[in-house]
């Protein structure tokens, strides 16, 4: 069985994570020429190209496998670092390139996730959070670029285990002044086409799904504006840009203060979330899972008893 140089594997991962050779060199504290040499040596050992020289750079199928292997090696080192820290608390901090990456949807980041992960970060876990739409975070895990993700996907990915977290409730809101002027009676079948909705990005279908379910419509076409930030969507709504569909947890205080108005108080859209992670015995994975499950039980609705399904 072939063994691969750890530095070369980290070099490949850094090129993809940083989006180029120059930034990878800065992160690894080596020259750009050394980055190229390590990649060429690794490609020669594997016998195939590992990167597609596109914008942005993308790993090939073989490259994705090696990046996943690099991530697993990081996890092993992080587990070792955790165990050593318990024995020798002054053993030092992890290197920056040893980062542990997970993918989490922006709405969870803006509400319940960060407080859950705070204690782990304070203890020295070199965590990197990658954000994407909740329907697409699992692609980062599928590609092997993260060790876990929070997603709407229910079925466990190959080689992974999945834990139901509960549902995040979404509501349609607008500023008090906007609602008073443009939709004083709330959201209805007669006015939803005239209301611009603020979505996260073009992959965000929550606005359309909410309006369709709330009004009992099969097909919905909305006028949309895009703000790629959960906090930005709320700020845009407060500024009178239009309506937006966001987690009730995120706007609870603003609704109570009257700064935002619930345009459809009779309706809410539950979005079930799941934590997927590699099916490996790992102290780091176990602690991440416990932290997220504990926070979800307090913040999300219908949070189930911890029941992990593996594949």
Averaged pLDDT score across all residues of the chain:
89
**Among 37-41, 143-147, 195-199, which stretch is predicted with the lowest mean pLDDT?**
143-147
CB 274 within 8 A of CB 186: no
Average pLDDT, integer, range 204-225: 93
The pLDDT score that the predictor gives to residue 203 is: 87
- 274-296 b/e with 16+ CB inside 10 Å = b? bbbbbbbebebbebbbebbbebb
231, two tokens: 């906090």
Nearest to 262 by CA among 198, 190, 170, 191: 170
Report d(CA 149, CA 152) in Å as an integer. 10
Contacts for 127 with CB less than 8 Å, ≥ 6 apart: 99, 100, 101, 102, 117, 120, 121
In the chain the domains, ranked by start, together with CATH numbers, are 1-95 (1.10.10.10), 168-271 (3.40.190.10)
Q: Is the pLDDT of residue 182 over 70?
A: yes
* Secondary structure (3-state) at 240: coil
* Residue 97: pLDDT band with limits 50, 70, 90: low
Asked whether the beta carbons of 64 and 36 are under 8 A apart, the reply is no
pLDDT one-digit tens code per residue, 17-57: 888 999 999 989 999 999 999 999 999 998 899 998 887 78
pLDDT at 102: 95
**What are the Cα distances from residue 73, in Å, to 1, 78, 199, 288?**
16, 9, 38, 17
Instruction: State the pLDDT confidence band at 85, using cuts at 50, 70 and 90.
Output: low
Q: What mean pLDDT comes out for the span 296-302? A: 92
pLDDT at 207: 95
Q: Which residue has the tokens 């845009």?
A: 236
Overall pTM > 0.95: no
- Structure confidence at residue 240 as a pLDDT band (50, 70, 90): very high
């Amino acid at each position: 069985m072939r063994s691969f140089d750890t530095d070369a594997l980290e070099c490949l991962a850094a090129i993809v994570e940083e989006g180029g050779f120059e930034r990878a060199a800065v992160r690894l504290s080596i020259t750009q020429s050394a980055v190229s040499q390590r990649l060429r040596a690794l490609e020669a050992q594997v016998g195939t190209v590992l990167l597609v020289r596109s914008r942005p750079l993308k790993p090939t199928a073989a490259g994705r496998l090696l990046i996943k292997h690099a991530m697993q090696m990081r996890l092993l080192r992080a587990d070792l670092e955790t165990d050593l820290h318990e024995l020798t608390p002054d053993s030092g901090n992890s290197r920056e390139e040893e980062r542990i990456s997970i993918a989490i949807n922006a709405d969870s980041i803006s509400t319940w996730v960060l407080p859950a992960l705070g204690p782990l970060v304070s203890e020295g876990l070199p965590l990197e959070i990658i954000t994407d739409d909740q329907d697409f975070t699992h692609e980062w895990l599928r590609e092997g670029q993260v060790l876990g993700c929070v997603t709407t996907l229910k079925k466990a990915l190959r080689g992974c285990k999945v834990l139901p977290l509960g549902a995040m409730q979404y509501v349609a809101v607008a500023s008090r002044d906007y609602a008073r002027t443009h939709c004083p009676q709330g959201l209805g079948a007669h006015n939803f086409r005239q209301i611009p909705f603020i979505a996260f990005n073009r992959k965000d279908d929550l606005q359309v799904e909410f309006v369709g379910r709330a009004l009992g419509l099969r097909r919905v076409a909305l006028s949309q504006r895009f703000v790629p930030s959960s906090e930005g969507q709320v700020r845009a709504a407060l500024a009178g840009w239009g309506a937006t569909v966001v987690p009730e947890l995120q706007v609870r205080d603003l609704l109570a203060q009257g700064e935002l108005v619930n345009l459809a108080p009779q309706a809410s859209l539950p979005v079930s979330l799941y934590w997927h992670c590699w099916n490996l015995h790992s102290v780091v994975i176990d602690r991440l899972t416990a932290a997220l499950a504990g926070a979800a039980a307090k913040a999300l609705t219908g949070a189930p008893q911890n029941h992990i399904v593996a594949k």
